[in-house]
Amino acid sequence: MSIHYKLIALAVFTLVSQLTFAASGGGHGESHGVPWVMVLQQVTNFAIAIGIIVYFAGGSIGGYFKNRREEFTQLLKKAEEAKSTAERKKREVSDRLSKLTSTKDQTLAEAKSEAEAMKKRILDEATSLSERLEKEAHRTASFEAERAKLRLRTELLEKSMNASKESLPGMVDGSKSTVLNNQFVEKLQVSQ
């Protein structure tokens, strides 16, 4: 607390004590009005108590209230900043909401268009894949059919050769049998 406050408090204290002293010596008679002496004594005691408190604790009390004022000012600034931030965010959300509301039909149309394009692309890919799988299946079936035919021919030729070897020696004599065997082998080689 500054020196000015202490001087003012000391002056008030002196004035009040002088008034109390003058009032206490002034009449000891019985009065029927307000007991001014007692009132002045109580005011003097109260002023003395306040003076002592201000004199000894005035600086720390002033500092306390100064600190409280600074804290309050800082909190007020933070509250104002929070309020302005909240108002700004509210405006942003309101703007976005109004923009979404105004463009909802356009956005919905774009979403439907994208969904149709995606559907068409998926169907085209599925059709393409199906055609490739079908071609591959035909190719595999043709390959397997050719392999089966080749196996059947091979088995048939082997059985024919075995049957000829068994039946020819009894029908034809030895020299003719050799000529026929050679011709048969040549024809088999040509057919393969």
* Rounded distance between C-alpha atoms, residue 108 and residue 130, angstroms: 33
Q: Which two tokens stand for residue 124?
A: 């085209």
CA separation (Å) from 157 to 134, 146, 164, 171, 186? Answer: 34, 16, 10, 20, 13
Closest CA to 10 of 40, 18, 63, 36: 18
- State residue 56's pLDDT score: 81
Which residues are within 8 A (CB) of 16 and not within 5 positions of it... i.e. 6 or more apart?
Answer: 43, 44, 47, 48
- One digit per residue, pLDDT tens: the chain, 192 residues? 555 666 666 667 666 666 666 555 554 555 568 888 888 888 888 888 888 887 887 778 778 888 889 999 999 999 999 999 999 999 999 888 888 788 878 888 888 999 999 999 999 998 999 899 999 989 998 899 898 889 998 888 888 888 877 776 666 666 666 777 777 777 776 665
* Rounded distance between C-alpha atoms, residue 150 and residue 192, angstroms: 10
Strand stretches in 31-127, DSSP E: none
- State residue 80's pLDDT score: 93
- State residue 169's pLDDT score: 63
- State residue 4's pLDDT score: 60
- State residue 53's pLDDT score: 81
**Measured in whole angstroms, how far is the alpha carbon of residue 70 from the centre of its chain?**
38
- State residue 83's pLDDT score: 92
Give the HSE-up count for residue 61: Cα atoms under 13 Å, Cβ half-sphere: 9
- State residue 57's pLDDT score: 78
- State residue 74's pLDDT score: 94
Cβ count near 37 (within 10 Å) = 16
Q: Which two tokens stand for residue 2?
A: 């500054």
- State residue 79's pLDDT score: 92
Q: At what angle do helices 104-171 and 36-102 cross, to 10 degrees?
A: 50
Q: Are 151 and 124 in contact (CB under 8 A)?
A: no
Chain length of the chain: 192
